[in-house]
Structure 1
C-alpha cells in the first residue's frame, strides 16, 4: 500500500465517478451490488478475515471500476479490452500493463525525480524504474540532439 499525489483533473474524474455511483446506488436500490470485507477474527467461529463478500459481513468496500449496478468489473474484462486494442486495432506493443510504462516515461520526461517515480510506482529498486519502465521518446531524443548541438557548435 502507498499514498500518491493526484492532480486536480484526476481528482475531478474521481469525484464525478463517486457521484455517479451514488446516483446508481439510489436508482438500483436493493438490486445494487454491494461488497464487504470480512473483519479480523475475534472468535475461532468468525469467517476468514479480509474476504470479499456480498452478504453484508464486515465493512463496505467501494470499488472504482464497477458496472452501473455496482457489480465488480473483473480484471479479465480489462485484459480483453487490451487484447482488442492490441490485435483488432493493430497496436502490437500495447497491453494493459503498458499504461504503467507510459506513466513512468511521461513523469520522468516532465521532470519528476527518478526517486519520486520509483516511489509512486512502488518499485523496491530504482533500477526497475529506470531500466524496465522508462522508455526513450522522440522528444527526449530531440532534446538530446539540441543539447549536443549546443555543446559542440563552433559558435
Structure 2
C-alpha cells in the first residue's frame, strides 16, 4: 500500500526481500482470528455494500482506511497515552524491543527484510536503558 496524497494505492514492494514470511506467536494468531471473525460479521452486516478483500487492515465496511484516517487515530492514541509515535516508528519499536529481549540480530534482519545486519543495527536499533543495563550485567558476570 502506498500513500498518494491521502489515498491508498496498491503497488509492488520495493525489493525482492519485501516478499517474506515471518513467524508469529499464538497470542497474535488469536488476535488475528478474532479480527477476521469481526470482518466476517461486518460482511454479513453490510451485505452488498461491504468491500470484500483479503486485507487485514480495513474499516468496518471492508474499505481501506485512508492515510489521514490512520494518522488521526494514531494521534488520538498518542494523546491518550502521552506518546508521540508515528506509523513508521512502529518498525523502529519492533526492532528495538526484539533487541532488548535478546533476539538474534539475524532473525531481526530477516523480519525487517534487510540484506545486511549492519543496516538493521545502524538504522533500527536505539540504545535504550534496558540494553545499556544488559551490557553492564554482562560485564559484571
TM-score relative to the length of structure 2: 0.75
* Post-superposition offset of 1:3: 0.4
Structure 1 residue ranges without an equivalent (≥5): 35-60, 151-155
CA RMSD of superposed structures (Å): 2.1
Q: Counterparts in 2 of 1:35-114, with a 5 A limit?
A: 61-84=53-76, 91-92=83-84, 94-114=85-105
- Structure 2 residue runs of 5 or longer lacking an equivalent are 1-18
- Count of aligned positions: 123
Superposed displacement of residue 76, structure 1: 3.1
Deviations 1:14-34 (Å, cap 9, x if unpaired)? Answer: 100111111111111111123
* Aligned CA distance change for structure 1 residues 75 and 128 (closer, same or farther; 3 Å): farther
Within 2, Cα distance between the matches of 1:65 and 1:30?
19
TM-score, normalising length from structure 1?
0.69
Map of 1:23 onto structure 2: 41
Match of 2:27 in 1: 9
Q: 1:145 to 1:82 in 2, by over 3 A?
A: same
Shift in Å at residue 144 of structure 1? 1.9
Which residue matches 2:15?
none
Answer with 1 or 2: which has the greater Rg: 1
